[in-house]
Chain A
Amino acid sequence: MKWKTLAAAMLLAALPFTAQAVEPDEILDDPALEARARDISKDLRCVVCQNQDIDSSNAGVARDLRLLVRERLVAGDTDAEVIEFVRARYGDYVLLKPPFKPETYALWLAPAFLVLFGAGAVIIVLRSSRKRQVLNRLSDDDERLVAEILAAEKEGRS
C-alpha cells in the first residue's frame, strides 16, 4: 500500500515537467492528425528562441506556426508538404535536421572524415613505434656467430 502512495506522489511531482507549450485550444479533435502535428512540430525550429522546437516554445511565432501546421494537416497535406510549406518561408534554417545536399556535405560528412582521419593517424603512429622497438633476441646470423666464438673460446681454453 505504501509503495502505491509513493508512486502516486512521484507521478504528481513529475507532472510539472511534462508541461507543454501546446495550448488546449490548439489541439485538434482528430488524435491521429494531432499526433502527426506534434511529430512535425518537433522537427521545426522556433525562429525566435532558436534551438528550441516549435512544439515546446512559448513564443508567439511558434504558436502561429503550430496553428499553421495543424491547419495544413486538416486541409489534407502530407507531413512532407507541411514541412515544405514552412521551409519555403523560413528556409532550411527552420529544419532541426538539415537536409543532405551540396551545401551541407561538409556538415554531414565531417564527423565521419574526422573519425577516419584520427583512426588513420593512430594506426600510423602505432605502426611506426612498433618498428622502432629494439629486438631482444639476436638474429639467426648473430646467434651462429656467438656460437662460433663461444666454441672457439672453449677450444682455446681446453
Chain B
Amino acid sequence: MKRAMAALPILIALIFGAFFLWGLNPDRDPNAIPSVLISQSAPDFDLPAIEGIGAPGLSRQDLTGSAEPVVVNVFASWCVPCRAEHAVLTRMVERDGVRLFGINYKDKPEDARAWLENLGNPYERIGSDLNGRAGIEWGISGVPETFIVAGDGTVLYRYVGPVVGAEAEEKFATALAQARTRSGGNS
C-alpha cells in the first residue's frame, strides 16, 4: 500500500505529461471542427444554375450514379483564397480527370459569372446557393471547403480551407486516391 502511494505522484505526472504532449503537438489544430458528414450520406439539396454560364445546376442526385468518387467544392467570387485554389482545381480536372462540382456560396450571379469568365470554368455543374442554406446542409463554416463524395453518395472526406500548397494538395490527393480504391473495390 505504502509503495503504491509512493508511485502515485509519478503516475499523476505521467498522465498530465501525456495530456500536455498531446495538447502541445504542433500538428494538432485546436480550431478544427470535426465534421459529422464523414461516412454519412451527402445532404439533400437542389440548387439552380447560375444564369448565363452554360453549366447546369446541382442537386444531390447529380453526385451519385458514377463509379468514380466526385469532388464538391464550395466557392465564391468574393473569397480570395478561392482564386488561388481555382488553379489547383482546374489542374485536378485537366490532369487527373476528376469530376468536379461547384456550390457557388452566397454569390451574386453576375459576380460569379465574371469570375468564371475571367479564370475559366473547371466545374461540370454549379449550384447557386444564394441564401447559404445548402452551405448549412453541408455543415460548412466558411469558404472554400472541398468534399469527396463516393459514387453511392457517401461523403468520404472534407477539406476546410483552400487546397493550395504542396502539403494540402498531397493530403487531398491521398484522400482522393483512397476514395478511388474504395469505390474500385466495391465494383
Contact = CB atoms under 8 A, between A and B. Distances in A.
A48 B141 contact: yes
B36 A90 contact: yes
B36 A61 contact: no
A89 B141 contact: no
B31 A90 contact: no
B19 to A, nearest CB: 11
Q: Chain B interface: which size bin?
A: 10 to 19
A60 B78 CA distance: 13
A73 interface: no
Contact of B136 (A48, A68, A91, A124): A68
Contacts of A108: none
Contacts of A48: 141-142
Contacts, number: 40
Contacts of A89: 36, 43, 136-139
Interface stretch (B94-102, B127-135, B179-187): B127-135
A64 interface: yes
A78 interface: no
B168 to A, nearest CB: 20
A91 B132 contact: no
B139 A91 contact: yes
A47 B135 contact: no
B107 to A, nearest CB: 12
B141 A64 contact: no
Task: Identify the 4 closest CB pairs spanning chains A and B, nearest first.
Answer: A91-B36, A47-B141, A89-B139, A64-B132
Given A64-B131, A64-B133, A68-B133, 4 more contacts: A61-B136, A88-B36, A91-B34, A91-B35
Interface of A: 47-48, 50, 60-61, 64-65, 68, 88-91, 93, 124
